[in-house]
Amino acid sequence: MPDRPYVIDEMISAKAIAARIEALSHDIRSHFGDTEKLVVVGLLRGSFVFIADLVRELDLPLEVDFLEASSYGNAMESSREVRILKDLRGAIEGRDVLVVEDIVDTGHTLNHVTALLKSRAPKRLKSIALLDKPSRREVDFRADWIGFEIPDEFVVGYGIDFAQRNRNLPFIGKVRFTPEPAP
Ligand code: IMP
């Protein structure tokens, strides 16, 4: 699949992303303004650029932790199994927690991760996703804050990959396959 030739069309500019993060960080700061110390949890690997920019806009006492989950589809049963590949380093009981995700697509990953983290009895738990594809949803889940709603397109850049490529693009672009070159 990734060896099929493709081009990337810009969908959301680096400037638009920065402006949106600044606006979102105001909302997050007013929500968690009284926090003792916020635990900002990045979901690896796609959120690493987003979390880096987001925390630098959050003028709050905070720490950063990471969790890696993987979701495996079962087309026959239209079900998904979400597995935790790397858990948090720290405990979150009684803490304020913000989960940071790159994209909510079917919703299985964030739905599973937020349920798991809630079971650890945090004081407050909120989630933020840079991108949301509501038309793809398979479970009833909505992040508390969303950067941009996008149509059902495969996107890359700003931390998000296509077969581990294109994470280093400063903008969000959509993948467009081009015809194979003639042999
Ligand atoms: P969900 O469990 O279907 O909501 O999956 C969310 C995860 O799927 C994201 O964290 C991404 O890793 C991946 N994903 C969904 N849509 C895209 C896309 O357009 N480009 C790259 N990865 C995507």
pLDDT tens for 79-134 read: 688 999 999 999 999 999 999 999 999 999 999 999 999 999 999 999 999 999 99
Going from the Cα of 52 to the center of ligand 1, the distance in angstroms, rounded, reads 19
- Per-residue model confidence as pLDDT tens digits over 33-85: 999 999 999 999 999 999 999 999 999 999 999 999 998 766 555 568 899 99
Catalytic residue check, 105: yes
Q: Which CATH number belongs to the domain containing residue 65 in this structure?
A: 3.40.50.2020
Q: Is the CB of 154 under 6 A from ligand 1?
A: yes
* pLDDT at position 72: 78
Structure tokens at 79: 């079900």
Q: Is 53 a member of any domain?
A: yes
* pLDDT at position 79: 63
Q: What is the mean pLDDT of residues 138-161?
A: 97
For residues 50 and 52, give the distance between their C-alpha atoms in angstroms, rounded to a whole number: 5
Q: Considering only CA atoms, which of 86, 30, 28 is closest in space to residue 56?
A: 28
Q: Which amino acid is at 25?
A: S
Residue 157 is classified by DSSP as B
* Structural domain total, the chain: 1
Q: Is 182 a member of any domain?
A: no
Nearby residues of 150 by Cβ (< 8 Å), 6 or more positions away = 11, 12, 131, 132, 133, 172
Q: Is 1 a member of any domain?
A: no
For residues 101 and 121, give the distance between their C-alpha atoms in angstroms, rounded to a whole number: 20
Structure tokens at 129: 């996703």
Nearby residues of 33 by Cβ (< 8 Å), 6 or more positions away = 60
- Ligand 1 closest atom vs CA 71: 2
Q: What range defines the domain where residue 156 resides?
A: 6-29+36-177
